[in-house]
Amino acid sequence: MLSLDVLRGVAMAAMVIVSNPGDAGHVYWPLAHAAWDGWTPADLICAFFLFAAGAAIPLSGRSSRWTRIIRRGLLLIAAGLLLGGYPDFDPSRWRIPGELQRVGICYLVAAGAYRATTGDARRRGAILMSAAVFLAIGYWLVMQHVPVPGGVAGDLSPRGNLGAYVDRTLMGGHLARLGWDPDGLLATLSAVATMLFGVVCGLCLQSGAPAGRKASQIAAAGAGGIVGGQLWGVVVPINKSLWSSSFAVFGAGAASLLLGICHWVIEVKGWRGWTKPFAILGANALTLYVASSLLRKTLASVAVASADGRLLPVDQHLYLQYFAPLAPPSAASLLYALVNLVVLFGLLALMYRRRIFLRL
């Protein structure tokens, strides 16, 4: 379904731009993550990807067999772990949590739940929606009312929250930050809810209803999710690093609204001329994620001599030598990220032209 590929492609293009600034200290507001509570467009990228992955589950034959579900989920986790150790694979500093690991766990649960449900689409959707709401509410209650040993219940600070304590206990120093990780294990419960919302949306896409009706239903549900997430945010702040319950609902709502708009524009109105670049990025989303991560980490780990004799990582050298002189800092930083996207797009366009699609 082209509209779903476009949504995934938009998320992946944004991911490359956000993850590869020339200067992390000079980034335009929409491309910078919120410091803690609150949200920016950059914070919605992972939610969009999880939602799109969930929406694809009912449309994919890969979700019909337990062996394929388990194999795909475990391979996603393994790929994330390898990226977490690259490039030096130092056991003492190997990061265990990560975005791909979270996607793999969410996929195992969401695809498994879809496979386990029976009945018509309406019944399956009701069961899966109930499961998503249960996870979101359950995660909220646990975070609000279960205290960290030696702490207080409801502490949602970076190191003081229950999820950070669980991560420190289970994974010690193998975290992205000192004492906590933005892709922590407990928060993945709430992230599963976001993917399950996507599965329910996929059931709607799979139905035989007219495309216009499906687009309006998906967009209306998305608007409801945005409002519901904002209202819930009054009680528990929208927070991507904690994947707070309000963020799970808000992010799924924003993704659903955008998917409904894409479905109306592409499938109903037939305006497809602009979609090809995003379809190329979305069709090989996993390849793009891995290639972007490898490129970023490789350029940061290899040092070269600059004109003044200093040793600089290749990414800093390229930015200071060729991009920083061209524009003000934030604009030059964005230009560097866009060049990264163009280079990676060239790789994916070649694969698309040759009908090469790497899937787990």
Q: Containing domain of residue 10, as a range?
A: 1-32+273-360
From 270, 299, 324, give the residue that closes a domain: 270
C-alpha distance from residue 166 to each of 102, 147, 170, 243 (Å): 15, 12, 6, 15
- One domain for residues 139 and 179: yes
Q: Say what the pLDDT of residue 62 is.
A: 57
**Is-contact 144 236, C-beta < 8 A?**
yes
pLDDT digits over 264-315, tens only? 999 999 999 999 999 999 989 999 999 999 999 999 999 988 777 788 999 9
Q: Say what the pLDDT of residue 240 is.
A: 97
Q: How long is the chain?
A: 360
Count: domains in the chain: 2
Distance separating alpha carbons of residues 72 and 93, to the nearest angstrom: 26
Distance separating alpha carbons of residues 312 and 321, to the nearest angstrom: 11
- One domain for residues 28 and 160: no
- One domain for residues 252 and 278: no
- One domain for residues 243 and 136: yes
What is the mean pLDDT for each group of 10 consecutive residues in the chain (360 residues)?
92 95 95 95 96 93 79 94 94 94 97 92 94 97 94 93 96 92 96 98 92 95 97 96 97 97 94 93 92 95 82 93 95 97 95 84
- One domain for residues 28 and 107: no
Q: Say what the pLDDT of residue 173 is.
A: 86
Q: Say what the pLDDT of residue 229 is.
A: 97
Q: Say what the pLDDT of residue 305 is.
A: 82
Distance separating alpha carbons of residues 165 and 169, to the nearest angstrom: 6
- One domain for residues 133 and 166: yes
- One domain for residues 24 and 55: no
- One domain for residues 48 and 100: yes
Distance separating alpha carbons of residues 259 and 141, to the nearest angstrom: 30
Quick one: three-class SS letters along the chain? CHHHHHHHHHHHHHHHHHHCCCCCCCCCHHHCCCCCCECCHHHHHHHHHHHHHHHHCCCCHHHHCHHHHHHHHHHHHHHHHHHHHCCCCCCCCCCCCCHHHHHHHHHHHHHHHHHHCCCCHHHHHHHHHHHHHHHHHHHHHHHHHCCCCCCCCCCCCCCCCHHHHHHHHHHCCCCCECCECCCCCCCHHHHHHHHHHHHHHHHHHHCCCCHHHHHHHHHHHHHHHHHHHHHHCCCCCCECCCCCHHHHHHHHHHHHHHHHHHHHHHHHCCCCCCCHHHHHHHHCHHHHHHHHHHHHHHHHHCEEECCCCCEEEHHHHHHHHHHHHHCCHHHHHHHHHHHHHHHHHHHHHHHHHCCCCCCC
From 270, 292, 327, give the residue that closes a domain: 270
From 223, 247, 270, give the residue that closes a domain: 270
- One domain for residues 67 and 125: yes
- One domain for residues 250 and 281: no
- One domain for residues 168 and 223: yes
- One domain for residues 105 and 247: yes
pLDDT digits over 184-228, tens only? 999 999 999 999 999 999 999 998 889 999 999 999 999 999 999
Q: Say what the pLDDT of residue 360 is.
A: 65
- pTM, entire model: 0.94
**Is-contact 84 94, C-beta < 8 A?**
yes
